[in-house]
Amino acid sequence: MSYFQYRDGVLHAEGVALPDIAAEVGAPTYVYSASAIEDNYHAYADAFAGRDVAIHFALKANGALAVVSLLAGLGAGADIVSLGELRRALKVGMTPDKIVFSGVGKTRDELTAAVSAGIAQINIESAPELDALDQVARKLGKRQPIAIRVNPDVDAHTHEKISTGKRGDKFGVPYDEIASLYRRAANLQGVEPVGLAVHIGSQLTDLAPYRAAYGRLAELVRALRASGLVIKTLDLGGGIGVQYNDETPPSLTDYATIVQETLGDLGCHLAIEPGRSIVASAGILLSQVIYRKAGGEADILILDSGMNDLMRPSLYGAYHPILPVNEAMRDATLTPVDVVGPVCETGDIFARGRLLPPIAADELVAIGVAGAYGASMSSTYNARPLAAEILVRGGRFDIIRHRQTIEALFADERVPDWLKPPKRKIA
């Protein structure tokens, strides 16, 4: 079910008309549906009901405190990749025993904070990281539960920039090196190896790579156990893909079936780390057209939002639906339009030759499926303030992040005294 629909010719987020948000908050603004987030989370919970499976929301997809708080209230844990995300999870009251720390480049300061907080698990991605964590934990007088992340050398058939499970990707430990590293970890005083982790990429719409990766994981578990090592937990990585354009995501029921068929007989506690599929469809980027200008092969719509607000199209060539906030007439003629932002980069393009109804300057548009990796990847490039963020429930909306002021952009900057121009003497 979509929570962004036209009512009486105007696009709404749940029960709130988007022009009402624009009138009060302005644009560009991210708008999230609380009900959509809840429904997406419950879809996972229902698919794995009755099984020993924990759901850890990947904060990198959307770390807004209100969003994380909403999910924590539903029972979700957190998958984090930085100290900042750890602080965000703890800030909203998420208990440390529901937090898992992933990522290839955890610093000693981050490891110290994570161990001190008593988080459930740290996913180890290299031998040097294992040694660093062991030293940190021993210094703190603790023994930290860990999983070792496996690189299963499985092609997820997704975009090369979000592939994480093939040989040569920077993530995880090669499959044939896991046994020796796990055995070494078992002999260290500062860590307690409890399981394995795997994550083969994002935006998977085909379940075959999951079946392959989980099958290899099961083989590894049996081999490690046969050598006398203990495996109690398996972290299975992100969830299923979402529909941006013409993709057909698999059902969560089918995904859960593959998990059961490949790993269900191992008696392990399982964890999954969905991010995109929880929040992507729950958010839009509300934008206003600054100008419409004649182009070469197509007119150009210049929006007030740019690649600094939503960089996925520029970074990945990603598709996002674009809708006029005021519904077009049924017989409106669709013409190809280039939809671009104001950033001083040729690559600041949301869509080329997109077939759209007539949209004029000052009109509002909604860039859809923008709740994941939108605000969380945004920047202040071109000295552009960060967009506001709104959370909608029913007929009300609340500002969960105010639009950044221009003054805030440089509030922490300082000009050294020796750069300040000297005062001129007056003759």
Residue 14: give its domain's CATH number: 2.40.37.10
CATH of the domain at 146: 3.20.20.10
Q: Is the pLDDT of residue 11 over 90?
A: yes
Helix (H) or strand (E) holding 340: strand 335-340
Residue 97 lies in a domain: no
Distances (CA, A) of 43 to 58, 250, 251: 16, 13, 10
Mean of the pLDDT values across residues 10-19?
98
pLDDT tier, 239 (very low <50, low <70, confident <90, very high otherwise):
confident
pLDDT, the chain, mean: 93
Q: In which domain, by residue range, is 247 found?
A: 103-272
Q: Is the pLDDT of residue 169 over 70?
A: no
Q: How far apart are CA 112 and CA 117, in angstroms?
A: 8
Burial class (CB in 10 A: 0-12, 13-18, 19+), 186: middle
Q: How far apart are CA 147 and CA 119, in angstroms?
A: 13
Q: How many domains does the chain have?
A: 2
Mean of the pLDDT values across residues 130-159?
86
Residue 424 lies in a domain: no
Q: Which of 272, 303, 318 is the last residue of a domain?
A: 272
Locus of tokens 């969380």: 376
Per-residue confidence (pLDDT) for residue 156, from 0 to 100:
46
Q: How far apart are CA 346 and CA 340, in angstroms?
A: 9
Residues 27 and 137 in one domain: no
Per-residue confidence (pLDDT) for residue 157, from 0 to 100:
47
Q: Which of 111-115, 142-146, 148-152, 338-342 has the lowest mean pLDDT?
A: 148-152
Locus of tokens 């669709």: 334
- The count of C-alpha atoms lying within 13 angstroms of the C-alpha of 321, restricted to the half-sphere facing its C-beta, is 17
Per-residue confidence (pLDDT) for residue 133, from 0 to 100:
98
Residue 45 lies in a domain: no
**Predicted structure pTM score:** 0.93
Query: Model confidence over 283-328: pLDDT tens digits?
Result: 999 999 999 999 778 899 999 999 999 999 999 999 999 999 999 9
Residues 216 and 113 in one domain: yes
Residues 109 and 223 in one domain: yes
Name the token pair of 213: 């990766």
CA 179, distance to chain mean position in Å, is: 31
Q: What positions carry a catalytic annotation?
A: 344
Residues 263 and 289 in one domain: no
CB within 8 Å of 99: residues ≥ 6 apart: 56, 77, 78, 80, 86, 89, 90, 114, 117, 119, 120
Q: Which residues pair with 33 in a beta bridge?
A: 392
Q: Is the pLDDT of residue 427 over 90?
A: no
Write out the DSSP string of 27-70.
SSEEEEEHHHHHHHHHHHHHHTTTSSEEEEEETTT---HHHHHH
Q: Is the pLDDT of residue 164 over 50?
A: no
Classify 238 as helix, strand or coil: coil
Q: Is the pLDDT of residue 265 over 50?
A: yes
Q: Which residues pair with 17 in a beta bridge?
A: 12
Residues 316 and 234 in one domain: no
Residue 52 lies in a domain: no
